[in-house]
Amino acid sequence: MSYNNKELFEKIKTMDQEKAIELIRSILAYSDNWENKAKAANFLIQFEDKGNLRFQQVKDAFLNDMHPQLRLKLIDLLANCYKKEGINFLKNQYKNCSDGTVRKSLIEVVGKIDLSSSIPFFIEALGDPNVEAKELAITLLGKAGESEALVPLIKLLHLRNAEIYNYLITSIVKIGKKGNLHY
């Protein structure tokens, strides 16, 4: 039976969940079309069925396809279905990611799921060339309020970058108000 892309995804909506997930996994693994892979990732997020989806398959799709829109969907999938192992994987992928929008999304997802234990990750992200990603890392460090972030934030303040100045001041003040400063 042959389907065009639209018919295929309409058919998936009517299928038994187990069979649908099997078909979606094969699309994610073998399709050459990033848009189909992104739609497949969307369906998997909707199913939220962690048992039927192999973590390795999602990792492979993330590693093998560099299209930013697909990677954004896969970040959502990893964060929703594999919180702990997904976040650890995404933190490791940050360094290898060349797209600023994808890096920003990685920082955002880590901040939502693993804020308090990701301070070193956010400190590393302070060096991101994407201003929006850097602003987000600064904001998350302020939100976490950990004193270990204070020195890296103050060092950034010395660069006198007008784009991030207000974010830096706000985060430094938040950390100072929270206290626990041992210097």
Q: What is the pTM of this model?
A: 0.82
- What pLDDT score was predicted for residue 2? 44
Compute the distance between CA of residue 179 and CA of residue 181 in angstroms, rounded to an integer: 5
Closest among 49, 96, 51, 43 to 74, alpha carbons compared = 43
pLDDT tens track for 150-165: 999 999 988 888 889 9
- What pLDDT score was predicted for residue 49? 54
Compute the distance between CA of residue 61 and CA of residue 93 in angstroms, rounded to an integer: 13
Residue 152 tokens read as 């890296």
- Using 70 as the pLDDT threshold, list the residues of the chain that sit under it: 1-4, 48-53, 180-183
pLDDT tens track for 61-86: 899 888 999 999 999 988 888 888 88
